[in-house]
Amino acid sequence: MTTAAPRRYLMCRPTHFAVTYRINPWMDPTAPYDNALAVSQWETLRRTFLGLGHTVELIEPLPGLPDMVFAANGATVVDGKVLAVQFRDAERADEAPAYKAWFENAGFPVFDSKHTNEGEGDILLAGDVLLAGTGFRTAHAAHAQTQEVFGRPVISLQLVDPAYYHLDTALCVLDERNIAYLPSAFSPGSQEVLRRLFPDAVLATPADAEVLGLNAVSDGRTVVLPVQATELTAALQAAGYETVGVDVSELRKAGGGPKCCTLEVRS
């Protein structure tokens, strides 16, 4: 386990959060949701990061983009380079230029995406390599571009369960050496890849995944995860991690958890 270095995160307040369309199985536009509760749950998440010593920067939420709170989908940022995103669904398309502009204004070199690429939702840095999901959102072709842009090996992983449509709903990077994941969310070949690369991984249960427990943010020492993921919390503690449970149940109605709300800015 590594020690926790302060992280820099980009987040987007869920001012305009709503569930008005359905682009993943968690979303039910006919079900009630509580915007004020979503904002207060998100605020608790932001304060949790600040309490752990991390920096949180904010991007202005735009009206008409109810999923913009899910900042992880706004870019992939590694070694000070930014790969912009291209959403699969028209409902989220206008988020891409907003996140791109934020990074340009902050002085980062930004590379345009040539294929569907939903950022850190599907592309996760694990030590020296990038783990990249495909099957539902990010195109397989985007993995090759990701490898070119960052000059780091990209390991392609095939997602097979529509409930776990982004890699970060099925896999969490815990530190430079280890991950937690739900095996059944991956194809047999990808499960074998994960077993080879991470023989000591923390395996999540279906019950953990159903509360989006794997959609967690780790700084290498402390894992911030949905409080409902009780089995995963115990497994992480047994593996030597500290845990902080947060309740983002309103955001889960859109298919998102703590990690979806958090884009790591790595300089």
Contacts with ligand ARG, residue ranges (CB under 6 A): 23-24, 27, 67, 70, 72-73, 92, 121, 166, 168-169, 254-256, 260
Question: Which token pair is 113?
Answer: 């995406």
Q: Which of 54, 166, 172, 261 is catalytic?
A: 166
Which CB atom, from 24 or from 218, has the smaller least distance to ligand ARG?
A: 24
For ligand ARG, the closer CB: 19 or 194: 19
Task: For the CB of residue 165, give the shortest distance to ligand ARG in the complex, in Å.
Answer: 7
Tokens of 1: 């386990």
Residue 39: in which H helix or E strand, if any?
helix 35-51
Minimum Å gap between C-beta 20 and ligand ARG is 10
Out of 12, 172, 260, 261, the active site residue is 260
Look up 115 and say whether it is catalytic: no
Nearest-CA neighbor of 262 among 229, 220, 217, 214? 217
Alpha carbons within 13 angstroms on the beta-carbon side of residue 207 total: 9
Nearest approach in angstroms of CB 169 to ligand ARG is 5
Beta carbon of residue 253, minimum distance to ligand ARG (angstroms, whole number):
9
The three-class DSSP label of residue 83 is strand
Residue 29 CB contacts under 8 Å (≥ 6 apart), including other chains: 19, 20, 21, 22
- Nearer to ligand ARG by Cβ, of 244 and 261: the residue is 261
- CB closer to ligand ARG out of 201 and 260: 260
166 is catalytic: yes
User: Which phi and psi (to 5°) does residue 32 adopt?
Assistant: -70, 150
69 vs 149 by CB, closer to ligand ARG: 69
CA distances from 119 to 44, 58, 115, 197, 233 (A): 24, 17, 11, 22, 26
Kindly state the smallest distance separating residue 77's Cβ from ligand ARG, in Å.
Answer: 14
Q: Please state the three-class secondary structure of 113-171 as a single string.
A: CCCCECHHHCEEEECCEEEEEECCCCCHHHHHHHHHHHCCCEEEEEECCHHHCCHHHCE
Which residues does the annotation mark as catalytic? 166, 260
